[in-house]
Amino acid sequence: MEINYDSILFRKLVKSIQIFYQMKKLYILFWFVVFACFNSYGQNLKGGGEKYPDLHTNESSLQYWRALRFGMFVHWGPVSLKGTEIGWSRGNPVPFEEYDNLYKKFDPENFNAAEWVGLMKDAGMKYLIFVSKHHDGFVMWDTKTTDYNIMSTPYGRDVLMDLSMECEKQGILFGTYYSICDWRHPDYPVEHNNPQRRENANMDNYIKYMKAQLKELVETYHTKILWFDGEWEEPWTHEMGMDLYKYVRSLDDEILINNRVDKGRQGMEGVSLSDKFAGDFATPEQQVGRFDLLTPWESCITICQQWAWKPNDKMKSTEECLQTLVRTVGGDGNLLFNVGPMPDGIIEDRQADRLREMGAWLKDYGAAIYETKGGPIQPQTWGVSTSRGKKIYLHVLKPVKEIILPNLSGEILGIRSMTDDTEIVFDSGGLGVVIKLPKIKKNVIDYVLELSLK
Ligand code: GLC
């Protein structure tokens, strides 16, 4: 059949196809707007909560930390000898008596702080949160407050001091995790895996004990972040949370404190109920937080399944690890990525290798991650965006042929594929910006486009 390209019918056909595509674009743009309105939620955490309305988050510490975007979380202790979960396995499956005596065999003779911190640097991580005391109450530093600490192990060396000094030396921001609940301490009223309440427990005494420990962490170890946890239990109250926040800030006004110091956290999404609650940032757990430009947040996620070391624990793929980082930053959050070192003090080779793979990727694409903000475009089915100054980075995590963006606030001067190092064709006339993508190779984890704005 011969086609008459000038025929009315043919022109009508072309016109309707064009309208269809315009409608499709309009439809996509419509959803951009809807997402923009509803997807950005949450509260601006401000610091001291309703009791101390004038005690604001230290803004310069906050800015500094947010720009780092990627940190290492370390869950470690005598429990690694069993390979079960830290804190939670005390009493079940590890009997209380056995768990509480593990420290007598804890001798991580291959621990080397310089190697750990060197690995963080190779991985492109910029800060550390080390578990200084978990729910099991074992203290990982040379404390004056109890003998149940690292100095009573056969190893007998202050690992926290080694880490603090090494971080300082290698330029890594040093922070500590500290559990509010302490299931072993006689003054803390409840114990996981044991329905019996401690009759003679005394919260006032327990708070004094905590404050003495926190003073050591701040004044002797110079922790710059206090990452609280275990706040959900009944003996801990909103009032106590706000007071503890204030106490820590009185020791060092530059410290950042997560929202788990108080009672406002909403489950695993980690966002606080309102700014009545104390805390400087929100803490989504084992999930990427929601796009939120108002509330500072950090997702804590494990490289394997368990927080503490577990033999042959299932490990995440390189793709999952990197895409988790990219999605987190695209939502305007930080990623605190957890490893569990082995009982001898070594971080498993396969975990270390995975981290180095992340670091190698960050060497090439760090400009699209560090010191960026999430957005301005909401997370999409194809991926996320980040931005810094006059640059916008599009992270294409699922290959598509074309990306349509709403009109941006600045004129686009050019688009470069960081992945292929080529210029990318785009059309910014009309409704929005249409970017045609070349065929993306299968093994590309994140196809990164750099948009330069006027
Ligand atoms: C949970 C767990 C704890 C872990 C923490 C890290 O609160 O209770 O074991 O340390 O998450 O976010």
Residue 306, classed as helix, strand or coil, is: coil
pLDDT confidence band for 18 (50 / 70 / 90):
low
Q: Which atom of ligand 1 is nearest to the CA of 285?
A: 12
Instruction: State how far the Cα of 116 lies from the Cα of 94, in Å rounded to an integer.
Output: 28
pLDDT of residue 32: 56
What's the distance, CA 50 to chain centroid?
Answer: 26
Measure 229 CA to ligand 1 centroid, in angstroms: 7
Q: Please count the other Cβ atoms lying within 10 Å of the Cβ belonging to residue 253.
A: 10
pLDDT confidence band for 34 (50 / 70 / 90):
very low
Measure 154 CA to ligand 1 centroid, in angstroms: 27
pLDDT in tens, 103-112: 999 999 999 9
pLDDT of residue 178: 99
According to DSSP, the residues that pair with 374 across neighbouring strands are 386
Contact residues for 320 (Cβ-Cβ < 8 A; gap 6+): none
pLDDT in tens, 184-235: 999 999 999 999 999 999 999 999 999 999 999 999 999 999 999 999 999 9
**Any ligand 1 atom below 6 A from CB of 87:** yes
Question: Atom 5 of ligand 1 has which residue's CA nearest to it?
Answer: 229
Listed in order, the ranges of the chain carrying CATH 3.20.20.80 are 59-371
Mean pLDDT of 75-95: 98
Lowest-confidence region among 67-71, 244-248, 431-435: 431-435
Listed in order, the ranges of the chain carrying CATH 2.60.40.1180 are 375-453
pLDDT of residue 253: 98
pLDDT of residue 38: 43
pLDDT confidence band for 305 (50 / 70 / 90):
very high
**Any ligand 1 atom below 6 A from CB of 298:** no
pLDDT of residue 271: 83
Q: Probe ligand 1: pick from 177, 307, 338, 339, max atoms within 8 Å of CB?
A: 307
Measure 137 CA to ligand 1 centroid, in angstroms: 14
**Any ligand 1 atom below 6 A from CB of 262:** no
Per CATH, the homologous superfamily of domain 375-453 is Golgi alpha-mannosidase II (2.60.40.1180)
Count Cβ neighbours within 10 Å for each residue of 338-360 and write b for 16 or more, e otherwise: bbbbbbebbbbeebbebbebbbe
Measure 43 CA to ligand 1 centroid, in angstroms: 23
pLDDT in tens, 189-199: 999 999 999 99
**May I ask the CATH architecture of the domain 59-371?**
Alpha-Beta Barrel (3.20)
Instruction: State how far the Cα of 142 lies from the Cα of 128, in Å rounded to an integer.
Output: 19
For residue 276, pLDDT over 50 is answered with yes
Residue 182 in contact with residue 90, Cβ under 8 Å?
no
pLDDT of residue 357: 98
For residue 40, pLDDT over 60 is answered with no
**Any ligand 1 atom below 6 A from CB of 231:** no
Q: Which atom of ligand 1 is nearest to the CA of 300?
A: 12
Question: Atom 8 of ligand 1 has which residue's CA nearest to it?
Answer: 230
Q: DSSP characters for 214-275?
A: HHHHHHTT--SEEEEE-TTSTT--HHHHHHHHHHHHHH-TT-EEBGGGSS-B-GGG--BS-T
pLDDT of residue 37: 41
pLDDT of residue 410: 84
Q: Probe ligand 1: pick from 229, 258, 283, max atoms within 8 Å of CB?
A: 229
pLDDT of residue 270: 82
pLDDT of residue 429: 79
Helix (H) or strand (E) run with residue 427 in it = strand 426-427
Average pLDDT over all residues of the chain? 93
For residue 406, pLDDT over 80 is answered with yes
Q: Which atom of ligand 1 is nearest to the CA of 229?
A: 7
**Any ligand 1 atom below 6 A from CB of 340:** no
pLDDT in tens, 309-336: 999 999 999 999 999 999 999 999 999 9
For residue 3, pLDDT over 90 is answered with no
pLDDT in tens, 126-179: 999 999 999 999 999 999 999 999 999 999 999 999 999 999 999 999 999 999
Lowest-confidence region among 18-22, 126-130, 237-241, 369-373: 18-22
Residue with tokens 């109250």: 237
**Any ligand 1 atom below 6 A from CB of 229:** yes
pLDDT of residue 407: 82
